């Protein structure tokens, strides 16, 4: 009977996710950075299966290099949406490069380097996650909550992987690796699958069930009132919320106000993040179109700036408490949002 290691099952699932991302025709093309990330997850799963399923030690150098490559690649995927400026890539290649050198000269510290890499990037992504969805200034505003959730999942998974690698190293040192295969099967494999699903979700721009609440902010001041007044005017007179690729940076350029100030003012005055604020306007306009026109729901969705049905349905339910079809059938009147105030 042919033995199929559990990591290969995970690799197959990741390959299916990858195929679905690449072949999507209903939404925008998948983000190539996340496609590359999932591809590395899948290859690493295959290598882990060879190493722990069949005991092939020859793949251990490749496994080490791929493991050192994953955290920097995940970091680059997400920080590319933060408008932090053009990043130098070479510093993030150092962990994998160091592992390559150690493979040739001194293999002993390789595990320490990998554990430190996962801890460092896991903590860095945790810091990014704590900044909230508005930190992802280049992400389309209807997708920022999902990508923010993905940052949280990835940060937790990287930290868990570091602890797992430490446990495996201790097992190899103290118990000759008698529990290592079990640790890989029970923890490392699900972590890889979780990372792959999270990256696929971010790359496909699907939406989570709900948006995270904005972080606690200081009380509003007079400058906040003026900023929100200007943004409200942009929404009501120029209908900038209809732009499907609107993000916080573009909104800041249109308003001539720093993105950080817009985010802080909306958080303090409206008790929500910028994506929720903009989507409130979109749903208010969608309600008007659903009640006053015969446009199909999909056409309404596109008209008000949404790009996926999942995002539109989620936001519509958040604002109105029901689905677009049910709302149109009931003709319950405009939603009580900024757009209909």
The terminus-to-terminus CA distance of the chain in angstroms comes to 68
Instruction: Name residues of the chain where pLDDT drops below 50.
Output: 1, 25-26, 203-215, 332-341
Domain carrying residue 289: 222-340
Given this model, what pLDDT does residue 290 score?
93
Task: Of 339, 231, 341, give the one whose Cα is nearest residue 285.
Answer: 339
28 and 125 share one domain: yes
279 and 166 share one domain: no
193 and 285 share one domain: no
Given this model, what pLDDT does residue 71 score?
93
Question: Contact, 274 vs 250, CB < 8 A?
Answer: no
183 and 155 share one domain: yes
Q: For residue range 6-15, list pLDDT tens digits in order.
A: 677 767 777 7
Given this model, what pLDDT does residue 1 score?
43
189 and 237 share one domain: no
Question: Contact, 296 vs 285, CB < 8 A?
Answer: no
Domain presence at residue 210: no
Please state the domain count of the chain: 2
- Euclidean distance between CA atoms 22 and 321, whole angstroms: 34
Record the tokens describing residue 283, joined without a space: 């749903």
Question: Contact, 141 vs 278, CB < 8 A?
Answer: yes
Domain boundary among 156, 175, 204: 204
Q: How far is CA 205 from CA 14, 37, 63, 202, in A?
A: 17, 15, 30, 5
120 and 23 share one domain: yes
138 and 54 share one domain: yes
Q: For residue range 141-154, list pLDDT tens digits in order.
A: 888 887 888 888 88
Domain presence at residue 214: no
């Amino acid at each position: 009977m042919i033995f199929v290691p559990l990591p290969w099952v995970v690799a197959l699932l990741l390959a299916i996710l990858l195929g679905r991302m690449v072949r999507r025709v209903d939404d925008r093309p998948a983000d190539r950075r996340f496609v590359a990330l999932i591809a590395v997850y899948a290859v690493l799963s295959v290598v882990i299966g060879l190493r722990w399923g069949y005991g092939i030690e020859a793949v251990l150098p490749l496994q080490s290099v791929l493991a050192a490559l994953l955290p920097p690649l995940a970091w680059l995927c997400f920080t590319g949406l933060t408008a932090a400026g053009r990043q130098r890539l070479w510093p993030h290649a150092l962990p994998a490069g160091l592992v390559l050198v150690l493979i040739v000269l001194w293999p002993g510290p390789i595990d320490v380097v990998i554990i430190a890499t996962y801890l460092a990037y896991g903590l860095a992504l945790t810091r990014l996650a704590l900044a909230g969805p508005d930190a992802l200034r280049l992400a389309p505003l209807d997708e920022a909550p999902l990508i923010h959730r993905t940052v949280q999942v990835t940060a937790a998974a990287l930290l868990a992987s570091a602890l797992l690698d430490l446990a495996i190293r201790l097992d190899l040192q103290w118990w000759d690796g008698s529990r290592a295969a079990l640790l890989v099967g029970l923890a490392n494999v699900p972590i890889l699958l979780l990372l792959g699903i999270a990256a696929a979700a971010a790359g496909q721009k699907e939406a989570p069930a709900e948006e995270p609440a904005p972080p606690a902010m200081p009380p509003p001041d007079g400058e906040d009132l003026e900023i929100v007044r200007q943004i409200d005017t942009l929404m009501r007179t120029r209908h900038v919320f209809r732009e499907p690729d609107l993000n916080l940076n573009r909104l800041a350029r249109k308003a001539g106000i720093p993105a950080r100030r817009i985010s802080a003012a909306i958080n303090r005055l409206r008790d929500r993040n910028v994506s929720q604020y903009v989507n409130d306007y979109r749903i208010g306009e969608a309600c008007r179109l659903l009640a006053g026109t015969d446009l199909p729901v999909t056409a309404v969705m596109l008209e008000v700036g949404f790009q996926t049905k999942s995002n539109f349905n989620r936001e519509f339910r958040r604002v109105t408490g029901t689905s677009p079809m049910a709302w149109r059938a009931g003709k319950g009147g405009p939603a009580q949002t900024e757009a209909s105030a």
